[in-house]
Amino acid sequence: MTTVFVFNGPNLNLLGVRRPDVYGTTVLADVEALCRDECARHDLELDFRQTNHEGVLVDWVQEAGAAVKAGTALGAVLNAAAYTHTSVALHDAVEGAELPTIEVHVSNVHGRETFRHHSYVSPVAAGIVVGFGVTGYALAIDGLVRLRRPSRSV
């Protein structure tokens, strides 16, 4: 079965606890269940991960890129969190691994502090989902499917 990777960056392990006024009260385990359901709807397997470490995200992106090239994965949904706004390394990893990536943000980053308006990931992402809460993850998976398997979209 083909895999979709969902990678989560720093502090997303605190989802549901940190700034519920901005990020909501849904916890990361519930986001994983949402993603698993969306993947099942498309006959896909889910590989869901979270880390607070930039280099780990870079390693995962490269791993996922290799899986896409091997034909075992469709691509990735990436919520790089704060690394979105700071990580040239993550930009270079997505680009270098040629990983089809949908960037996702729970909050509307463009309606927040100005430092959140810039993304190093966006220029190398196939698409971006911003501001739909955790539902954005399901939208991102569906979008990845529609981009990569247009004849199988629902």
Ligand-binding annotation for 8, yes or no, is no
Give the other-Cβ count within 10 Å of 57's Cβ.
26
Q: Which of 42, 83, 105, 137 is catalytic?
A: 105
79, β-bridge pairs: 8
d(CA 74, CA 68): 6
Ligand-binding annotation for 119, yes or no, is no
Ligand-binding annotation for 142, yes or no, is no
Ligand-binding annotation for 92, yes or no, is yes
Ligand-binding annotation for 116, yes or no, is yes
For the question of residue 137 being annotated catalytic, the response is: no
For the question of residue 105 being annotated catalytic, the response is: yes
45, β-bridge pairs: 3
Q: Which of 23, 83, 120, 137 is catalytic?
A: 23
Under 8 Å CB-to-CB from 135, ≥6 apart: which residues? 34
Both tokens of residue 150? 């247009």
Which residues fall in the annotated binding site for substrate? Answer: 79, 85, 92, 106-107, 116
Which residues are identified as catalytic? 23, 105
Q: Residues annotated as binding site?
A: 79, 85, 92, 106-107, 116
